[in-house]
């Protein structure tokens, strides 16, 4: 069902979304899914680079499908911040907003005059959320903040694959998506503080911090024991720091995944006497590749469904390794109701929904991503420029074109 907006936790909250492409826009969308009103502020003519930078090259109704997926539930206005009138208008909105989200490189918002300190003068209680590639200080601060690049400097690609492989990056924008969660969480926490004390605040995070947080187990162990090193294992292993049988194994018609399970129990269930006697847990480490090879040879003699029938009945931690098509056709995917339909100008798109349920209700909406400037006239009428926020000298916005150019590199 479509949730009534007034019943949602962030109903009445106004968010200005200055961000582009993924991490910032998805953070804003997460707030929109929780009931906030999100107004996307875009450059006239071109707008968010995500409108044209297509995932898999697919577009719908003039925008990329990925843009539709990341900007549902929003309004769009356009403003040329090199123009004093437009800058004054935007500052008028800022003065009335609850949250501002931006993902420019460090220094860009200062040149525009919309950095946190400047914005706080206009609106002392505002919650200001800033997403960057690598933070605002240090030798990497001005490097392009893009997902693959952030994964790479974090060391993450060396945790997947086998000892025979080169680096294996995660095949999704995991840094961007995790950063969007952190920014949305931080903004929501500061809103709670504001409701308690009246005090706004600044929340900051970066792609790199999101990647480091993801590796908290590894980093915590390594920081307390410098003998720890990443040593990937055989071709079936799924984790550099977990012993056999943790991994994926080919069957006659697909693959099966095994999590942490007692080796002797697997030996009994799979009729592998070589494994039943391995009662010493250390053997799962010392003989890891041999154990994995024995399992792989055995699983290859039967279908995935056959082995799941045996292992599931014994409460073994296992699962089929589904392809995308198999996932979409599965009963499990249907049961979780993770999709929704949105509409724009006669075009209907199926997207994912918010992964949250509130009071037992799925959060969903039929409002599609906005057209560029779709809400210009209505929002300008609602928030007329009364001159409360005079524009800075035009020289303060001389770098706006450069700012726009680097914005997608902040958290692409």
| Best CA proximity match to 100, nearest among 167, 174, 24, 23 | 24
Residue 35 gets the label, from left (phi > 0), alpha (psi -120 to 50) or beta, of left
Structure confidence at residue 3 (pLDDT): 54
Owner of token pair 């993902």? 103
Residue 113 gets the label, from left (phi > 0), alpha (psi -120 to 50) or beta, of left
| Best CA proximity match to 277, nearest among 265, 289, 288 | 265
Structure confidence at residue 4 (pLDDT): 54
Per-residue pLDDT tens for 346-397? Answer: 999 999 999 999 999 999 988 999 999 999 999 999 987 533 444 433 333 3
Tokens of 69: 């997926």
pTM above 0.95, yes or no: no
Distance CA 132, CA 144 (A): 9
Per-residue pLDDT tens for 156-213? Answer: 999 999 999 999 999 999 999 999 999 999 999 999 999 999 999 999 999 999 999 9
* Order of strands across the sheet that contains 14-17: 74-78, 37-42, 14-17, 99-102, 127-132, 201-206
Distance CA 411, CA 53 (A): 14
DSSP annotation of 314 reads T
Structure confidence at residue 23 (pLDDT): 97
Name residues of the chain where pLDDT drops below 70.
1-6, 385-412
* Pairing state between β 201-206 and 99-102: unpaired
């Amino acid at each position: 069902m479509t949730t009534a907006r007034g019943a949602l936790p962030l109903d009445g909250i106004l968010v200005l979304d200055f961000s582009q492409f993924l991490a910032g826009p998805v953070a804003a969308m997460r707030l929109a899914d929780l009931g906030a009103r999100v107004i996307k502020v875009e450059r006239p003519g071109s707008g968010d680079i995500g409108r044209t930078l297509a995932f898999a090259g697919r577009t719908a109704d003039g925008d990329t499908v990925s843009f539709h997926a990341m900007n549902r539930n929003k309004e769009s206005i356009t403003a040329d911040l090199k123009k004093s009138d437009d800058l004054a208008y935007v500052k008028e909105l800022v003065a009335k907003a609850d949250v501002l989200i931006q993902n420019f490189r460090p220094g860009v918002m200062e040149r525009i005059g919309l950095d946190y300190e400047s914005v706080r003068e206009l609106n002392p209680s505002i919650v200001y959320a800033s997403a960057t590639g690598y933070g605002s200080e240090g030798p990497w601060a001005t490097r392009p903040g893009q997902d693959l690049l952030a994964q790479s400097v974090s060391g993450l690609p060396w945790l997947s694959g086998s000892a025979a492989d080169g680096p294996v990056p995660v095949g999704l924008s995991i840094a961007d998506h995790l950063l969007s969660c952190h920014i949305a969480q931080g903004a929501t926490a500061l809103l709670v503080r504001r409701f308690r004390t009246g005090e706004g605040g600044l929340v900051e995070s970066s792609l790199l911090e999101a990647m480091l947080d993801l590796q908290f187990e590894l980093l915590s162990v390594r920081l307390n024991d410098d003998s720890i090193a990443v040593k990937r294992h055989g071709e079936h292993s799924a984790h550099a720091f977990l012993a056999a049988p943790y991994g994926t194994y080919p069957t006659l018609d697909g693959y099966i995944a095994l999590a942490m399970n007692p080796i002797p129990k697997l030996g009994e269930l799979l009729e592998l006497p070589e494994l039943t006697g391995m009662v010493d847990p250390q053997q799962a480490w010392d003989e890891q590749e041999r154990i994995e090879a024995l399992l792989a040879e055995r699983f290859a003699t039967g279908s995935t469904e056959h082995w799941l029938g045996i292992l599931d009945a014994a409460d073994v931690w296992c699962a089929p390794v589904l392809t995308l098509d198999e996932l979409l056709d599965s009963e499990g995917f249907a049961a979780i109701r993770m999709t929704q339909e949105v509409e724009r100008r006669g075009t209907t798109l199926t997207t994912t929904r918010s992964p949250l349920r509130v009071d037992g209700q799925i959060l969903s909406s039929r409002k599609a991503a906005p057209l560029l400037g779709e809400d210009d006239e209505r929002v300008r009428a609602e928030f007329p420029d009364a001159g409360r926020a005079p524009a800075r000298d035009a020289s303060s916005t001389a770098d706006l074109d450069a700012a726009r150019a680097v914005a997608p590199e902040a958290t692409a």
